[in-house]
């Protein structure tokens, strides 16, 4: 195999190499069945075992209480932007949203198509460099939920503390799933696309409070109804077989590493190495995000000018560190350091940053 790159992609992103190798070994002949898992009925014994093991491990590793059910859906986190208001908002109820950047704007725009929604705090007023304190949230009467994006993948901003408000929270955790504990009692639903911390694209992992299913809206297409997916244990229609399998393998890997607390510790260590490299550069590298709200998953930074940024990207690429370009909407650089990014990748990057600075003063 060619040497693996240090892949800082924001998503799809680097996955544990052990998991990829294991999947390769099992791919053509799944556990002696004489066929691949993706060739079998999703209602057969092999896939049933895969799906129920993945569900059980997800509940265990995410430390989800039994008041919640995990659902495996398709169409990424993006479909959840619509499914949430379609299922949860009844006439006269409103959805409140924190606008913390590009992804929450997506949730707000789609939410507005399906119900009455409003922005409870607008990060645009602060150039998306921080998250709100609870007292800054302008919450209205008859608000069904407060939707937050726990980590803004593009802006590199995160909620260090989850809000504590009188209505339930809904969290888009696409880009920091399984990197921090979730205070479940505050949430009715958390969701995310798998391709940032959990596996390949094609799977959305949703945890929903079971009580919510009792009076969720029924007058929508069947695929869009949480209660139907819950009643069928995510097998209402053909589920994304391969992504669920790989998600299960990633969960086993996480468990072997020490589970959620190990993931959290690693994220703190890796992100603080990068922020320290930025802080110790005498202003050569800068991070626009307020220190308390800096993401542990997506570290954004700038260089003194666009020309140096381009050189930085070209030279780091040549040195085996790829996908460090910031999102096209904001520019600059971004290192996404999800759970499967080894410490060695971050060490290589901090060393490269120091060297680049010394050579390009």
Ligand X SMILES: *Cc1c(COP(=O)(O)O)cnc(C)c1O
Nearer to ligand X, 264 or 336 (CB): 336
Smallest gap from Cβ 323 to ligand X, in A, equals 14
Q: Which is nearer to ligand X, 193 or 248 (CB)?
A: 193
Q: Among 9, 87, 175, 295, indicate the residue that binds ligand X (CB under 6 A).
A: 175
CB-CB contact of 123 with 131 (8 Å): yes
Burial of 326: CB neighbours in 10 Å, binned 0-12, 13-18, 19+: buried
Binding-site string for ligand X from residue 105 to residue 124, where x marks contact by CB under 6 A and - marks none: --------------------
207 SS3 class: strand
Q: Which residue has the tokens 């995990």?
A: 70
Residues 8-47, one symbol each (x = binds ligand X by CB under 6 A, - = not), give ---x------------------------------------
Separation of alpha carbons 120 and 53, rounded Å: 39
Q: Is 193 in the site for ligand X (CB under 6 A)?
A: yes
- Closest approach of ligand X to the CB of residue 99, in Å: 13
Q: Which two tokens stand for residue 341?
A: 């990014």
Q: Please give the residues from 55 up to 84 whose contact with ligand X meets the rule CB under 6 A.
A: 76-78
Task: Name the residue nearer to ligand X (CB basis): 295 or 350.
Answer: 295
Q: Which residue has the tokens 């990424």?
A: 76
C-beta neighbour count of 208 within 10 angstroms: 26
196 catalytically annotated: yes
Cα of 312 vs its chain's centroid, Å: 27
Q: How far is CA 198 from the centre of its chain?
A: 8
**Minimum Å distance from CB 241 to ligand X?**
18
Residue 271 in the binding site for ligand X (CB under 6 A): no
Selecting among 110, 121, 172, 325, the annotated active-site residue is 172
Which among 94, 110, 176, 196 is annotated as catalytic? Answer: 196
Task: Give the pair of three-digit tokens for residue 90.
Answer: 């009844």
Query: Is there a catalytic annotation at residue 172?
Result: yes
Min separation Cβ 149 and ligand X, Å: 5
**Structure token digits, residue 239:** 């589920």
User: What is the Cα–Cα distance from 348 to 274, expressed in whole angstroms?
Assistant: 11
Residue in 241, 236, 189 with CA at minimum distance from that of residue 83: 189
Residue 153 vs 323, nearer CB to ligand X: 153
d(CA 234, CA 238): 9
Give the separation between CA 103 and CA 295, rounded to whole angstroms. Answer: 14
Q: Is 184 tagged catalytic?
A: no
Q: Which is nearer to ligand X, 103 or 245 (CB)?
A: 103
CB 236 within 8 A of CB 228: yes
Site mask, ligand X, residues 144-173, x = CB under 6 A? Answer: -----x---x------------------x-
Catalytic hit among 94, 103, 188, 325:
103
Residues lying near ligand X in the complex (CB under 6 A) are found at 11, 76-78, 103, 149, 153, 172, 174-175, 193, 196
Residues tagged active-site: 103, 172, 196
């Amino acid at each position: 195999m060619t040497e693996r790159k240090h892949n800082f992609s924001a998503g799809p992103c680097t996955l544990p190499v052990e998991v990829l190798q294991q999947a390769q070994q099992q791919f053509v002949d799944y556990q002696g069945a004489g066929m691949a898992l993706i060739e079998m009925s999703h209602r057969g014994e092999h896939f049933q075992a895969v799906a129920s093991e993945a569900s059980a491990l997800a509940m265990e590793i995410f430390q989800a209480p039994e008041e919640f059910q995990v659902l495996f859906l398709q169409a990424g986190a993006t479909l959840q932007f619509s499914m949430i208001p379609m299922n949860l908002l009844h006439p006269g109820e409103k959805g409140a949203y924190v606008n913390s950047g590009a992804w929450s704007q997506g949730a707000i725009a789609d939410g507005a198509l399906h119900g009455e929604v409003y922005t409870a705090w607008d990060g645009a007023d602060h150039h998306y460099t921080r998250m709100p304190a609870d007292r800054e949230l302008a919450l209205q009467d008859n608000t069904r939920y407060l939707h937050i994006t726990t980590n803004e993948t593009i802006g590199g901003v995160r909620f260090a503390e989850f809000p504590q408000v009188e209505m339930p929270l809904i969290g888009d955790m696409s880009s920091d799933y399984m990197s921090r504990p979730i205070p479940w009692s505050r949430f009715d639903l958390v969701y995310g696309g798998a391709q940032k911390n959990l596996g390949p694209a094609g799977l959305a992992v949703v945890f929903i409070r079971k009580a919510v299913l009792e009076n969720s809206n029924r007058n929508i297409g069947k695929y869009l109804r949480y209660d139907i997916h819950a009643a069928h244990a995510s097998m209402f229609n053909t589920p994304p077989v391969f992504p669920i399998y790989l998600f299960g393998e990633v969960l086993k890997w996480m468990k072997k590493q020490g589970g959620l607390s190990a993931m959290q510790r690693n994220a703190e260590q890796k992100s603080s190495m990068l922020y320290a490299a930025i802080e110790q550069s005498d202003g050569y590298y800068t991070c626009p995000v307020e220190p308390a709200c800096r993401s542990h998953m997506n570290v954004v930074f700038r260089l003194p000018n666009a020309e140096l940024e381009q050189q930085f990207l070209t030279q780091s690429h040549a040195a085996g560190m790829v996908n460090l370009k910031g999102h096209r909407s904001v520019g600059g650089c971004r290192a996404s350091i999800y759970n499967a990014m080894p410490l060695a990748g971050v060490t290589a990057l901090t060393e490269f940053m120091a060297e680049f600075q010394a050579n390009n003063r």
